[in-house]
Chains A and B, each alone.
Chain A
Amino acid sequence: MPDESSQSADLAEYDKSWEQRNPEIVREITIEEYKPVGTLVIALIYLVIIVVMWIFMYFIEFGGNAPSIID
């Protein structure tokens, strides 16, 4: 069972902001200054793979695979 003092210490910690709890942070940036370029590149590569695979599957494997139903 947790004692009184540690509980109040937890509460005091909880009242502080994230910055107050992490004083070693030297520079704060806004959300727009944050540029996850790597994530963007991975997302773009992923989307390009999907497009290329779709083109291959639909136009070559499905559409180009005669005999097909023509009527």
Chain B
Amino acid sequence: MHIHKFERWWIRISYVLIAFFIATVVYGFVSMDLKVIGNYQTIDPQNLSETPFGTPGVREVTNGGVTEYEVYVQTIQFAFLPGTSSPITVPADTRITFYVTSPDVLHGFDVAGTNLNTMAIPGQVAKFTTIFPEVREYGIVCNEYCGPAHHIMEGKINVVPKSEFDKSNLVE
């Protein structure tokens, strides 16, 4: 089949474009250190009380001499525990690792306006680490339909300056 010269050019450019898109995604995950949530571990959703999820909240951990925080969050119909009745308070410029699971149905854990977004699946623990660069309040929304009051399921993350972080509210 005869293909016109111009047409051959833009077919070639389309292939270059596809290669460019793939290259940028590879570059993002190799050099920009972008990550996605993988499968971390499974858990018995009926017995969360025997796990750190039984006392959800912010914990202090030391990793290689550096203070970091772990946040255990239960997503329930129709609240984040913690997050809804009291905000999740974490310091800025510190590594924060979230562990999210659900004892009842499928929920979402989406920190609105950011790239932090995971499903909360009964029986699965979603784990992700982040650093909040600025002091501000973030909203958390459930973005998986979880029941009749799904639309009011929301919470808050309160990022405070490192120096003003109150450790008295940490859980053991």
Contact = CB atoms under 8 A, between A and B. Distances in A.
Interface of A: 31-32, 34-36, 39-40, 43-44, 47, 50-51, 54-55, 58-59, 62-63, 65-71
A67 B95 CA distance: 11
A40 B10 contact: yes
Q: For this complex, into which size category does the number of interface residues on chain B fall?
A: 20 to 34
A61 B111 CA distance: 15
B115 A51 contact: no
Contacts, number: 76
B24 A58 contact: yes
A35 B115 CA distance: 46
Contact of B35 (A55, A65, A70): A70
Interface of B: 2, 4-6, 9-10, 13-14, 17, 20-21, 24-25, 28, 32-37, 95, 97, 111, 114-116, 128-133
Nearest to A66: B133
Nearest to A34: B4
A69 B10 contact: no
Contacts of A59: 24
Contacts of A47: 10, 13-14, 17
20 contacts: A31-B4, A35-B6, A39-B6, A40-B6, A43-B10, A47-B10, A51-B17, A54-B20, A55-B24, A62-B28, A65-B115, A67-B111, A67-B132, A68-B34, A69-B115, A69-B128, A69-B130, A71-B35, A71-B95, A71-B97
Given A40-B10, A54-B21, A58-B24, A67 B2 contact: no
Contacts of B13: 43-44, 47
A31 to B, nearest CB: 6
Given A67-B111, A67-B131, A69-B36, 13 more contacts: A35-B6, A36-B6, A40-B9, A43-B10, A44-B10, A58-B28, A59-B24, A62-B28, A68-B115, A68-B130, A69-B128, A70-B95, A70-B130
A50 B111 contact: no
Contacts of A40: 6, 9-10
Nearest to A63: B32
Contacts of A55: 24
A70 B10 CA distance: 38
Nearest to A71: B129
